[in-house]
Structure 1
Amino acid sequence: MTNAFYSQFAANAVKSSVLSVEILRDALLPNLLGDDSSGILYWAGKDLARQFPVASNADLVTFFEQAGWGHLEVTSESNDLLTYELNGEPVARRNAAIKQPDYMLETGFLAEQAAQRFNCVSEAKITATKRLKIQMAVTVDHKQALTNHDPETPIEIIRPQVDVDDEPEPNA
């Protein structure tokens, strides 16, 4: 179901309205969830990562773009610490329009993707928030293996096809 769901919408040339997503995310959910909004969104991000596991950093970057969360960059990776930067038009737009936008959904998603990848407990936090970028760090605790862990098969990421006829011709 998850791979079919992803494929149905990621391959759709008609993109959903940014307004509809932002109304749900930044107007409705904070009002419904109140003071618990950040914590619930973090755990919701973890749940989404279990539903939409990805196989690689390249797939993770593509998924973030397709989800409308922004452009994700892996800034460093070590055995126990992964650092990311989230930037791009969605981040700039949300930061300009909302006094204190919440990025805990993305943070939870990154934490769970690391947990699935390394088969151990992982936690993420936002380390810096700037107008045009968000920095996040995921700590991986290799001493705490996940129990009863049966990882899902990664989704097949759909990448836009580039038509060779649309590419500019080189100058002769």
Structure 2
Amino acid sequence: MTNAFYSQFAGNAVKSSVLSVEILRDALLPNLLGDDSSGILYWAGKDLARQFPVAGNDDLVTFFDQAGWGHLIIDKESDNLITYELTGEPIARRSFAIKKPDFMLETGFLAEQAAARTGCVSEAKITFQNKMRLRIAVTVDHNQPLTAHDPATPIEIVRPEADQATDGDDPESNADES
């Protein structure tokens, strides 16, 4: 169901309303969750990462763009630390509209994606945040392997632009046929 769910919406040309997403994320959830909102959103991000595992960094970047979470950049990557930078219109919009925007959903998602890839306990935290970007550091603890770790099959990332170019609809590729 997860791959079909993702494919149906990621490939849809009609994008969801930003207003509907922001109402749920920044008005409803904080009121429902109260003071525990950040912690719950972190664990919700980890749960979403288990539902929507991605195969690698390129897929992770694409998924973040498609989810409307912003433009993800892998800043540094070592054996036990991955540093990401998250920028773009979604970050700026939420930062200017909301007094203290919460990005723990994204933070938890990155922590769990690292755990799935390494098979080790991974935790993430925001190490820098301003109105235009934030930096998230994911620490991988190789001394704590996940027990009964059975990696899920990654979802197939939908790339509409790439799919269209292979359909033979590219004007330049059809020029030779004339």
Per the normalisation by structure 1, the TM-score is 0.94
Amino acid at match of 1:122: S
Q: Which residue of 2 aligns with 1:119?
A: 119
Q: Which residue of 2 aligns with 1:128?
A: 128
Superposed displacement of residue 149, structure 1: 1.2
Once the two structures are superposed, the pairs formed by residues 1-172 of structure 1 within 5 Å of their partners are 1-161=1-161, 162-163=164-165, 164-165=170-171
1:45-95 CA distance string (max 9 Å, x none): 000000000000000000000000000000000000000000000000000
Task: State the secondary structure of the residue aligned to 2:160.
Answer: coil
Q: Which residue of 2 aligns with 1:170?
A: none
Amino acid at match of 2:67: A
- Which stretch shows the higher mean deviation, 102-111 or 148-157? 148-157
Return the alpha-carbon distance in structure 1 between the equivalents of residues 35 and 22 of structure 2.
Answer: 19
Total equivalences in the alignment:
166
Moved >6 Å (runs of 4+): none
Unmatched tracts of structure 1, length 5 or more: 167-172
Superposed displacement of residue 165, structure 1: 3.5
Return the alpha-carbon distance in structure 2 between the equivalents of residues 5 and 36 of structure 1.
Answer: 29
Return the alpha-carbon distance in structure 1 between the equivalents of residues 70 and 125 of structure 2.
Answer: 17
Q: Which residue of 1 aligns with 2:176?
A: none
Amino acid at match of 1:111: A
1:77-119 CA distance string (max 9 Å, x none): 0000000000000000000100000000000000000000000
Task: State the secondary structure of the residue aligned to 2:143.
Answer: strand
Superposed displacement of residue 131, structure 1: 1.2
1:142-166 CA distance string (max 9 Å, x none): 1100001111100000112255349
Return the alpha-carbon distance in structure 2 between the equivalents of residues 35 and 56 of structure 1.
Answer: 34
Per the normalisation by structure 2, the TM-score is 0.91
Return the alpha-carbon distance in structure 2 between the equivalents of residues 111 and 6 of structure 1.
Answer: 20
Identity %: 76
Unmatched tracts of structure 2, length 5 or more: 173-178
Return the alpha-carbon distance in structure 1 between the equivalents of residues 159 and 90 of structure 2.
Answer: 19
Amino acid at match of 2:115: A
Q: CA RMSD in A?
A: 1.0
Task: State the secondary structure of the residue aligned to 1:79.
Answer: coil
Q: Which has the larger radius of gyration?
A: 2
Task: State the secondary structure of the residue aligned to 1:138.
Answer: strand
Q: Which residue of 2 aligns with 1:169?
A: none
Task: State the secondary structure of the residue aligned to 1:109.
Answer: helix
Return the alpha-carbon distance in structure 2 between the equivalents of residues 126 and 72 of structure 1.
Answer: 14
